[in-house]
Amino acid sequence: MSRPTSGPVASDPSWGNRSDLDVLNRDIPRVDGPVKATGEAVYTHDVRLPDMLWARVLVHPVPRAEIESIDVEAASEMPGVVHIEALKEPGDAVRYLGDDAVLAVVAAETPDQAADALGAIVVKARRLAPVVTPEQALKEGAPVVSRRRKADSNVGRANERGDEAVADAALAGAVAVVERTFVVPIQHHVCLETHGHVVQPAPDNEQVTVYASTQSVGGTPRGLARTLGRDASKIRVLTPHMGGGFGSKFGPGLEGALAARVANVTGRPVHLMLTRADEFAIAGNRSGSRQKLKVGADSDGRLVGLKLEADKLGGVSGGSLPGPPYIYTVTDGAAVFSKIRSVHTATDGSRAMRAPGHPQASFAMEAAVDELGYLLGMDLVDIRIRNLESAVHHRQLRRVAEEIGWADHPNRDRPGAAVNGRAVGIGFGVSVWGPGGRSSRCDVTVRPDGSVVSATATQDLGTGARTYVAAIVAEELGLTVDMVEARIGDSDLPPSVTSGGSVTTGSSAPAIKDAAHKAREGLEALLTDVLEAPVGSYVWKDGRVSVRGDASRSLPWIAVCALLREPLLAQGEFRDFLHEGRIHGAQAAKVEVDTLTGRVKVLKMVTCQDQGLPLNRLALRSQINGGMVQALSYGLLEQRVFDEQDGFLLSDNLDLYKIAGSQEIPEMVALIDDEDERPSVCGMAEAPVIPGHSAIAGAIHNACGARLTRMPFTADNVLETLYGKI
């Protein structure tokens, strides 16, 4: 039996002085590296249970149709088919290409048999006009595909802010004015592990076990409770490892509900992972947008007025776009007017994706700032600093400018021109994020044999969360990381947060710290009789404890633990003062544009990022790099493409939906902003994905004068912008 520590604690936990840290704020190789590098890590995709069925879903190939019949009879007689179920009746509509287009589910003894049965289902349907583009959605007499109640068009209610007349007057008085319409395509998350679950049913008095590729082990039991017909406490969700989420894996979704239902009906374990094509069709995306942005500046380069009219393109969902002015400040806040509305198409609803809405807003706003700089003959770094309130942004911009070689670059206040068809440019962008922290818990157990377990129901999306679950405890107790076992990815552990919006670190790290601190004080209480010093007067370092100021009164870790007669359980919770709420970043990109072919090659990207105390500098640089890579990929390559006539999703595979590969990767410099000396921690993953594509667009403009107003920055886009034709 373990016992919780009791009685008043001697002191509050603290992250301590950075100079005293032995484990944190250093490069810590991730603790699950060896199992990942050897293929031993078991993802949901890899779960194989005895007697397991393989399930697949049938997705209608186009967004809108009226179902005449779904004949599963022949399919049900195929070899190995155990369960087959049509999900629509004759006369039902397919209203959009998303979960509403899932027509049937099949479960069979082998994956091939499930695929064969899927192919033997005979569907008769009348295709309807597709409505896959905003133009089709806005056309007079267009079919209403919006899911809003009583909707009579595909346009959502406009969100208007500010006074248009005040903004107009300010813009009329501006010395320089830029007006552009920016078009941002829809991006996919492209988690390498598709969405899915393995559900192992159980008798009513036992727990159902669900393996889930999820960003929320804690929330998934509630999401499946109704389908499984049992209380959430009777559902255990396990996510030992997961292959990427990026905001798309918060709930079990239809695929999870179907896996649960088939497991219930058949009484057998069910493996249901979406195929790559399913994933593109029904597993979410980052919303697109069209932004008509007008910004004016005075002769000093101060922004004095702004107007934004924007359409968010989130399919059947609303999409996301923060209001203007994005990050930058307009001198008179009253001179900012915006009208933002959703335009709905019959396509999969957008979901959260790493910094939802922010990269879209950044693309338009950074472009406007660049162009105002050029109109006024101002240095691109100077005009940014003039319009950014935070001194953190100022120092970060100077730092990335120095690293990218801005001082020696000829085009600091005007775009350059190509020499022999080749032009080099530099661009900039900034980011903010406010992840904060919220309720989270952690249990730290110290056993008499010296072993330590740190346990919390978080999940590691690839961020390195599992590593700091161990490392924070190791730091507090003077141990090495390998002496602490991290247990995560299990809904039965002490609850933590859903991993979205960079909230995980700011929420769970304080709880882990609190638990570790309580464990330390629990051990110190035992030492008062042995080393004869009160709680709070010990130093834990290098696997030993000693009395502060008297190294001769000391014990090795194993001897301290031997004083325990039973395991010591310390229960930690979120402590507000151990986390930070707000982070900042700046990026610079250097590109080479071939103005004869239109090809853009990114030469270098630099990010400077703050986050309070860095827990693990190695994982932090990985995350910053990852943000830059995803932003580069978004800027240069990615867009969802529909066949507008018939409504087929053309980009439903990784040949036609392009993401960045190794040959697109330039030199990348991830700078941790060590001038941020805040003594607390914060998540940061959203921030570095926000401005990279904006910096690349700025660099293209800076190189050769081509202001690209739509993404991605493909060769045809560059040539058309440069010459008005291809």
Partner 1 sequence: MREMDPSSGEPSAISRRSFLKGATQVAAAGGIIGGAPASEQGTAVEPEVETLSGSSSMELLVNGKSRSVEVQPRTTLLHALRNQMKPPLTGTKEVCGTGSCGACTVLIDGQPAYSCLTLAVTCAGRPVTTVEGFGSADAMSDVQQSFCDKDGMMCGFCTPGFVVATHAALDRAPKATLDELKYELSGNFCRCGTYPHVFDAAQAVQKDRARGEDGR
In the complex, the residues that contact partner 1 under the rule CB under 8 A are: 27, 29-30, 32-43, 45-46, 48, 74, 77-79, 110-112, 116, 119-123, 190-193, 241-244, 246, 275-276, 461-464, 618-619, 621-623, 625-630, 633, 653-655, 659-663, 665, 668, 670
Closest CA to 201 of 11, 386, 402, 52: 52
- Residue nearer to partner 1 on the CB measure, 42 or 142: 42
Task: Please check whether residue 126 is in contact with residue 68, taking contact to mean a CB–CB distance below 8 angstroms.
Answer: yes
Q: Nearest approach, Cβ of 484 to partner 1 (angstroms)?
A: 17
Q: In what order do the strands lie in the sheet with 122-127?
A: 93-94, 65-71, 122-127
Q: Nearest approach, Cβ of 497 to partner 1 (angstroms)?
A: 19
- Residue nearer to partner 1 on the CB measure, 9 or 212: 212
603: three-class secondary structure by DSSP: strand
639: three-class secondary structure by DSSP: coil
Q: For the residues of 330-348, what is the DSSP string, one character each?
A: -SSGGGEEEEEEEB--SBP
- Residue nearer to partner 1 on the CB measure, 287 or 630: 630
| Burial class of 236 by CB neighbour count within 10 A (0 to 12, 13 to 18, 19+) | buried
- Residue nearer to partner 1 on the CB measure, 299 or 662: 662
What's the rounded Cα separation, in Å, for the pair 84 and 86? Answer: 7
Q: Nearest approach, Cβ of 110 to partner 1 (angstroms)?
A: 7
Closest CA to 182 of 361, 317, 431: 361
CA distances, 110 to each of 53, 256, 260 (Å): 7, 19, 18
Q: Nearest approach, Cβ of 592 to partner 1 (angstroms)?
A: 14
∠ at Cα 376 (373, 378), nearest 5°?
50
What's the rounded Cα separation, in Å, for the pair 607 and 628? Answer: 8
What's the rounded Cα separation, in Å, for the pair 302 and 335? Answer: 13
- Residue nearer to partner 1 on the CB measure, 115 or 142: 115
- Residue nearer to partner 1 on the CB measure, 53 or 174: 53
- Residue nearer to partner 1 on the CB measure, 420 or 663: 663
Token digits of residue 490: 């299990």
- Residue nearer to partner 1 on the CB measure, 276 or 544: 276
- Residue nearer to partner 1 on the CB measure, 519 or 589: 589
- Residue nearer to partner 1 on the CB measure, 58 or 545: 58
Q: Nearest approach, Cβ of 465 to partner 1 (angstroms)?
A: 11
Q: Nearest approach, Cβ of 508 to partner 1 (angstroms)?
A: 18
CB atoms within 10 A of CB 135: 12
Task: Please check whether residue 479 is in contact with residue 469, taking contact to mean a CB–CB distance below 8 angstroms.
Answer: no
What's the rounded Cα separation, in Å, for the pair 375 and 177? Answer: 8
Q: Nearest approach, Cβ of 82 to partner 1 (angstroms)?
A: 16
Q: Nearest approach, Cβ of 530 to partner 1 (angstroms)?
A: 37
- Residue nearer to partner 1 on the CB measure, 39 or 203: 39
Q: Nearest approach, Cβ of 710 to partner 1 (angstroms)?
A: 23
Amino acid at 220: T
Distance of CA 600 to the CA centre of its chain: 26
Q: Nearest approach, Cβ of 327 to partner 1 (angstroms)?
A: 22
Pairing assessment for the beta strands 208-212 and 196-200 based on DSSP bridges: antiparallel
Most distant CA pair in the chain, distance = 87
∠ at Cα 600 (594, 603), nearest 5°?
105
Token digits of residue 311: 């359409």
Closest CA to 215 of 493, 436, 501: 501
- Residue nearer to partner 1 on the CB measure, 243 or 323: 243
Show Cβ contacts of residue 151 under 8 Å, excluding neighbours closer than 6 positions.
Answer: 144, 344
Task: Please check whether residue 113 is in contact with residue 271, taking contact to mean a CB–CB distance below 8 angstroms.
Answer: no
CB atoms within 10 A of CB 333: 10
CB burial readout 431-446, b (16+ within 10 A) else e? bbbebbbeebbbbbbb
Q: Nearest approach, Cβ of 139 to partner 1 (angstroms)?
A: 33
- Residue nearer to partner 1 on the CB measure, 188 or 294: 188
- CA dihedral over 64, 65, 66, 68, signed as positive or negative: negative
| Burial class of 106 by CB neighbour count within 10 A (0 to 12, 13 to 18, 19+) | buried
Half-sphere exposure of 385 (CA within 13 A, CB side): 15
Q: Nearest approach, Cβ of 651 to partner 1 (angstroms)?
A: 12
- Residue nearer to partner 1 on the CB measure, 279 or 521: 279
Q: Nearest approach, Cβ of 624 to partner 1 (angstroms)?
A: 9
Q: Nearest approach, Cβ of 371 to partner 1 (angstroms)?
A: 29
Q: Nearest approach, Cβ of 573 to partner 1 (angstroms)?
A: 28
- Residue nearer to partner 1 on the CB measure, 481 or 568: 481
Token digits of residue 666: 């330039």
What's the rounded Cα separation, in Å, for the pair 411 and 428? Answer: 13
